């Protein structure tokens, strides 16, 4: 969607503030010995208290209020009581909601407890890539420059990107046009319009550039034809395109 009036702006900002709050809560609660289902139930309480709808559950019948992925899982991980977090686990929480008719989407990857250098660098690069990309979300800029910023951050830090996953428009639905690639497609000459709402996200990988769906029909992993899996970190913010400095609704 594109922001048309003050009501739209405040609606996106309110939804963005809510999902950011839940994201940070889950990050705080994610400790060794806690199950991903426990995290999701904490999110459920926040959704119900705010009168918000879980976007993946509401729109796609996802079996959880949030997507919580661990280790080699990239995205769309199903919260489970059997998935108990351990020290050193790579975790991604992805929180998207519909609140008062407006959608916002955010996510972060982080390490539970003690980290190793490579995984911490991976998470830091995902944040760096997304923050660089948000700076490209200004009126009249090329859409492809968002992906260029993400891919550049990955390459500079010795990583790759998952090329078949992308960000997207959002606002009145969870997933809207345009698709926001994590690399630059120089054939794409579309420009960004004032007020466009985007979910900008990075998918930074230790090796593979391709995501595959697991047999549960939801969970995504990254690997190659030899069956070797890669770690992937994600960072996502809902951003409003502006003439000057873009507005990040989910900080």
DSSP 157: T
On whether residue 77 sits in a domain, the answer given is: yes
Q: Are 53 and 47 in contact (CB under 8 A)?
A: yes
How do residues 185-214 score in pLDDT, each as one tens digit?
A: 999 999 999 999 999 999 999 999 999 999
pLDDT class of 115 with cuts at 50, 70, 90: confident
Helix (H) or strand (E) holding 93: strand 90-99
33/26 Cα distance (integer angstroms):
14
Asked whether residue 94 is marked as a ligand-binding residue, the answer is yes
Residue 189 has a pLDDT of 98
Asked whether residue 168 is marked as a ligand-binding residue, the answer is yes
**Is pLDDT above 80 for 224?**
no
206: which 2 tokens? Answer: 């230790």
How do residues 159-175 score in pLDDT, each as one tens digit?
A: 999 999 999 999 999 99
**Is pLDDT above 80 for 92?**
yes
* Residue range(s) defining the domain that contains residue 33: 6-248
On whether residue 183 sits in a domain, the answer given is: yes
**Is pLDDT above 90 for 218?**
yes
Q: What's the pTM? A: 0.96
Q: Find the CATH number of the domain harbouring 34.
A: 3.90.230.10
Burial of 186 (0-12, 13-18, 19+ CB in 10 A): exposed
On whether residue 1 sits in a domain, the answer given is: no
Helix (H) or strand (E) holding 123: helix 117-134
Of 84, 87, 85, the closest CA to residue 113 belongs to 87
On whether residue 176 sits in a domain, the answer given is: yes
How far are the Cα atoms of 30, 45, 90 from residue 161, in angstroms, in the given order? Answer: 26, 34, 17
Of 209, 201, 207, the closest CA to residue 250 belongs to 201
157: which 2 tokens? Answer: 């830090």
Domains in the chain, number: 1
**Is pLDDT above 80 for 27?**
yes
Task: Please tell me the total number of residues recorded for the chain in this structure.
Answer: 251
144: which 2 tokens? Answer: 């492809």
On whether residue 90 sits in a domain, the answer given is: yes
């Amino acid at each position: 969607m594109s922001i048309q009036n003050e009501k739209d702006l405040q609606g996106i900002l309110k939804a963005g503030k809510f999902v950011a709050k839940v994201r940070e809560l889950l990050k705080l609660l994610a400790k060794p010995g806690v199950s991903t289902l426990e995290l999701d139930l904490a999110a459920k309480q926040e959704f119900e208290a705010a009168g918000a709808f879980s976007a993946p559950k509401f729109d796609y019948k996802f079996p959880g209020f949030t997507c919580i992925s661990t280790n080699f899982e990239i995205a769309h991980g199903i919260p489970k009581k059997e998935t108990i977090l351990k020290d050193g686990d790579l975790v991604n929480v992805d929180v998207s909601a519909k609140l008062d008719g407006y959608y916002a989407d955010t996510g972060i990857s982080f390490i539970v407890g003690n980290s190793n250098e490579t995984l911490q660098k991976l998470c830091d690069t995902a944040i760096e890539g997304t923050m660089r990309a948000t700076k490209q979300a200004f009126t009249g800029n090329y859409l492809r420059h968002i992906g260029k910023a993400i891919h550049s951050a990955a390459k500079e830090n010795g990583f790759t990107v998952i090329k078949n996953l992308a960000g997207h428009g959002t606002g009145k639905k969870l997933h809207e046009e345009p698709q926001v690639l994590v690399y630059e497609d120089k054939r794409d000459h579309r420009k960004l319009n004032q007020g466009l709402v985007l979910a900008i996200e990075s998918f930074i990988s230790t090796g593979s550039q391709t995501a595959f769906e697991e047999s549960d029909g939801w969970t995504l992993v990254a690997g190659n034809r030899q069956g070797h899996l890669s770690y992937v970190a994600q960072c996502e913010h809902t951003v409003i395109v502006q003439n000057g400095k873009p507005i990040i609704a989910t900080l």
